[in-house]
Amino acid sequence: MRILIVDDFSTMRRIIRNLLRELGFQNTQEAEDGNTALPLLKKGGFDFLVTDWNMPGMDGLTLLKHVRSDDDLKHLPVLMVTAESKREQIIEAAQAGVNGYIVKPFTAATLEEKINKIFDRIESAE
C-alpha cells in the first residue's frame, strides 16, 4: 500500500506520515500542493491519497477533480484532511468524489476510523 500525503505545512505531513506508520502503512510519499502531487500520481503506483484543501498553487479540491477526471486515477481513494469546515465545502468535496472528509484538528482514532471505512467500502464493492 503506497500512500501520497499532500499538505502545504511540513509539520502536518509529518504528523500524518507518523500516524499512518503507526497504523501499519510504512510506504508513504509527500507533496506540498496539487501541482507537485499530480505528476507523482500520474507516474502511478499510489493506492491512496490523503490531501489538505487550502494550499497555495493547486488546492486539494482541484487536485481531487483532476484525479477523478483522469482515466488511470479516477478510482484512487481520496481522503481530505482540512481545516475547512463549512457545510457547503463538505458538500462540494463530496460532490467532487471525495471518499472521506476529516476536519482539523483531528485525532489519531478518527484517521484510523476513516481509513478503515474507506477500505471496507472498497472491499465490499469489489
Cα 29–chain centre separation = 12
Question: Rounded distance, CA 78 to CA 68, Å?
Answer: 10
Q: What minimum distance in Å lies between the beta carbon of 5 and another protein?
A: 13
Q: What minimum distance in Å lies between the beta carbon of 69 and another protein?
A: 20
When the beta carbons of 16 and 41 are compared against another protein, the nearer one is 16
- For residue 22 the three cell numbers come to 503507526
When the beta carbons of 48 and 101 are compared against another protein, the nearer one is 101
Binding site for another protein (CB under 8 A): 7, 9, 11-12, 14-15, 18-19, 22, 53-54, 59, 83-91, 94, 101-108, 110
Q: What minimum distance in Å lies between the beta carbon of 75 and another protein?
A: 17
- For residue 42 the three cell numbers come to 500520474
Backbone angles phi, psi at 48, to 5 degrees: -160, 140
Question: Rounded distance, CA 33 to CA 35, Å?
Answer: 6
Q: What minimum distance in Å lies between the beta carbon of 106 and another protein?
A: 6
| 8 A C-beta contact, residue 29 and residue 6 | no
When the beta carbons of 17 and 66 are compared against another protein, the nearer one is 17
